[in-house]
Chains A and B, each alone.
Chain A
Amino acid sequence: GAGVSQSPSNKVTEKGKDVELRCDPISGHTALYWYRQSLGQGLEFLIYFQGNSAPDKSGLPSDRFSAERTGGSVSTLTIQRTQQEDSAVYLCASSSSGTEKTQYFGPGTRLLVL
């Protein structure tokens, strides 16, 4: 597609359940980033992929969070045993080069943990 896409657009889950969020980057973009935006907060970095490897996972808030990328394209962010504080908008961005090019954001997944 022309832009970054994410699914689902909205997700409501119960505390303790696992959720999986998907990101389809712009075709050909090798760098992929996950960010989180909590209500009233700025965007915070979660994880960076270059190809299928993740050289920077420093933003993942706990070991309940994990992410993978396959085929240098689609990425999934998994949150296990969700907590209410995980409620946020999860945004994915991609760029053609991690350090030199502009990042373009997807529409985000709005996660609500009840």
Chain B
Amino acid sequence: GQNIDQPTEMTATEGAIVQINCTYQTSGFNGLFWYQQHAGEAPTFLSYNVLDGLEEKGRFSSFLSRSKGYSYLLLKELQMKDSASYLCAVRDTNTGKLIFGQGTTLQVKP
């Protein structure tokens, strides 16, 4: 079966660092994606990992361990505008469809 788990909610302080974890068990794997979704808006692409290791992009980094079925998204120097839902998704090997977790709602407090 397909199963992607991430925490439902997290809270962090402006200026701090937060790590959002995602674990997955899927029948196929062709990359792991992180998307950001503000309330009432479309998901926007943040990062993509297909090989093990860390991908860094400005204040955002994403890590993947395929052997452990584990990824995390690291957000540094948090800003109030980072308050949003963060969606972890695994891409299917055959069709490219994305299998999403439930999303993690991050609240950044002053």
Contacts and interface: CB of A to CB of B under 8 A. Distances in A.
Interface in B26-84: 30, 33, 35, 41-45, 48
B107 interface: no
A91 B43 contact: yes
B15 interface: no
The contact size tier of chain A is: 20 to 34
Contacts of A93: 98
Interface stretch (A11-19, A36-44, A63-71): A36-44
Given A43-B100, A105-B43, A99 B95 contact: yes
A107 to B, nearest CB: 5
B34 to A, nearest CB: 11
Nearest to B42: A105
Interface residues of B, number: 25
B22 to A, nearest CB: 12
Interface string A77-114: 00000000000000101010111101111111000000
Interface of B: 4, 30, 33, 35, 41-45, 48, 87, 89, 91-103
12 contacts: A42-B87, A43-B43, A43-B87, A44-B100, A45-B97, A91-B42, A93-B98, A95-B96, A99-B91, A102-B48, A105-B42, A105-B43
Interface of A: 31, 33, 35, 41-45, 48, 55-56, 59, 91, 93, 95, 97-100, 102-108
Given A97-B96, A102-B33, 20 more contacts: A31-B96, A33-B98, A42-B101, A42-B102, A43-B87, A43-B89, A43-B100, A45-B99, A56-B97, A91-B42, A95-B96, A99-B92, A102-B45, A103-B33, A103-B45, A103-B96, A105-B43, A105-B44, A106-B42, A107-B42
